[in-house]
Structure 1
Amino acid sequence: MTVSLDYEDYDLGSMTWEDAETAIDDADFVVLPTGAIEQHSLHLPVSVDTLRAENLTRELVTAAPDRGLSMLRLPTLPFGYSEHHMPRAGTLTLLPDTYQKVVRELGSSISEHGAERLLIVNCHGGNSAPLKLAGDRLQREHDIEVYLVDWTSYAREQLNERFGENWSHAGPHETSVTELYHPDLVKADEKVNQERKASFNARQYTWYTDLTVQGGRGDPRDSDAEFMEQVVADTTERILDALEEDLEQSTDGVQTLQRSSDDE
């Protein structure tokens, strides 16, 4: 299932408008999970990034009360900016201007209902630039603080230690996450070392097929769901640490927790 309909108490999708009115007023953060629908090589489904957004925000929202934080989760936005993956079937993309407009209008909606802070938890590297621009506009045009978290950035050190530096798109990292939450969606017999076609220094690639034969990076056979379970727990705590630190500061600038993004 791409987007869960098994709602929990913290999910806006389970609420009446009266419930939502109270929940928005009480929430320290309204959380928007963002994913994508795009090719993920031969062994993973096109919904990987959306599945990650769905599951990893659940971990974050359920851990937040231990820090005294209340989070209200919006339905996961399943489509993202994935134009670079369009040569492979199954990829669905919004163009950057469209994507920014969607996020801005969603943010505007919750701002109008009284939300003070929008936390965007992003699980697709291609979304990072348009999300940053959308966050800029929301903060400057609406009375809402925007916090942008690229989830993978907070796991980078652990992932590098375990998998080296070649673990990103459809590699051992994303394969491990999918095996942790949805092992039935992984084609184990199709897990092969991803052949690299090019590795540019300054040049931007046009399509992801410029870079890789099968559609991924690294060797998904190195996946480790048990290790990833620990990474998820540790990364959740690091994100909460960052949010707490930012909440302790008073600033008029954009509250951007993004560090760096992958070419996912």
Structure 2
Amino acid sequence: MTDDNEETQRGAAETAFDLGGMTWEEAGEAFLSADAVVLPTGSTEQHSRHLPLSVDSLRADHLSATLVEAAERRDLQLYRLPTLPYGYSQHHMRFPGTVTLTPETYREVIVEIGASIADHGVDRLLLLNCHGGNREPLKLAADRLGREYDLEVHFVHWTDFAREKLEEQFGDDWGHAGDHETSVIELFRPDLVREEHKEPQTTREFPETRSYTYFDEVTEEGGLGDPTNADPEAIEEIIAETTAEILDAFEADLDAGW
């Protein structure tokens, strides 16, 4: 972490490419030059006893800011919608504070957001997702947007691009509210980490042939892994490498005509 970034790390990420800070005239001009509009998708759900409910949305906010700023250095124009802070989180509902949309509602929200920007002349939407529960409704929404609104949708589940690097750094058990997510929040919003509650999570193995119903069936505190292994300096490097990989993949798809 650098001193130059310390102030922005205390609040929401802000970039010159944020549509939420533009007037309608500025947004209209941005849409004309946009290679894509980015929608960061998160959630509001429990993240154990040491992290806030906003973890996934904070990740989506800061990681999408990193993405659009890095894109400019490649002569790619990516403009960013405000982060969608609610997702499909039914499996966390036994923990207070969790807010969930139904899969059907969430899918419709994404379709209507996409339809809105398509109506303004946008050709391409990039979904940058940071919550696993959103994956299926996002993919169904992407299908509809392509078929019904002729909107090209690129789906990026951020963790998929970082998975090998995360496993190399943290091993196999770095998931929900664990080593990885704690590292990200310590990097961007250390003021929100309850240090006194960072502890190895009490978990049981996931079933091999049955889907669990609620997350408290597999974890006592609400998380996985060992948050005491968090390493914000390592995650900063992983974020830089993952951002580059995502942009490489996006550019390759554009070059291939997708």
Q: TM-score, normalized by length of structure 2? A: 0.94
Give the alignment partner of residue 30 of structure 1, picking from 26, 29, 37.
37
Paired with 2:134 and 2:202, the residues of 1 have a C-alpha distance of 25
**1:65 Cα deviation after fit:** 1.3
Unaligned runs of 5+ in 1: 252-264
AA aligned to 2:181 is E
Q: How does 1:92-241 map to 2 (within 5 A)?
A: 92-241=99-248
Moved over 4 A (4+): 4-7
Paired with 2:34 and 2:228, the residues of 1 have a C-alpha distance of 41
What SS does structure 2 have at the residue aligned with 1:162?
A: helix
Contact preservation (8 Å) 1:28, 1:117:
yes
Question: Kindly, what percent of the aligned residue pairs are identical?
Answer: 54
AA aligned to 1:91 is T
**What is the root-mean-square deviation of aligned Cα atoms in Å?**
1.3
Contact preservation (8 Å) 1:120, 1:147:
yes
Unaligned runs of 5+ in 2: 1-7
Q: Single out whichever of 32-41 and 196-205 deviates more from structure 2.
A: 196-205
Paired with 1:129 and 1:154, the residues of 2 have a C-alpha distance of 17
Deviation string 1:80-110 (CA, Å, 9 cap, x unpaired) is 0001000000000100000000000000000
Q: How does 1:6-21 map to 2 (within 5 A)?
A: 7-21=14-28
In 2 relative to 1, CA 6–194 (structure 1 residues): closer, same or farther, beyond 3 Å?
A: closer
**1:250 Cα deviation after fit:** 2.5
**1:143 Cα deviation after fit:** 1.8
What SS does structure 2 have at the residue aligned with 1:77?
A: coil
Contact preservation (8 Å) 2:15, 2:65:
no
Contact preservation (8 Å) 1:35, 1:49:
yes
Paired with 2:12 and 2:179, the residues of 1 have a C-alpha distance of 28
In 2 relative to 1, CA 193–6 (structure 1 residues): closer, same or farther, beyond 3 Å?
A: closer
Q: Which residue of 2 aligns with 1:255?
A: none
What SS does structure 2 have at the residue aligned with 1:100?
A: helix
AA aligned to 2:91 is H
Contact preservation (8 Å) 2:46, 2:95:
yes
AA aligned to 2:217 is D
In 2 relative to 1, CA 238–5 (structure 1 residues): closer, same or farther, beyond 3 Å?
A: closer
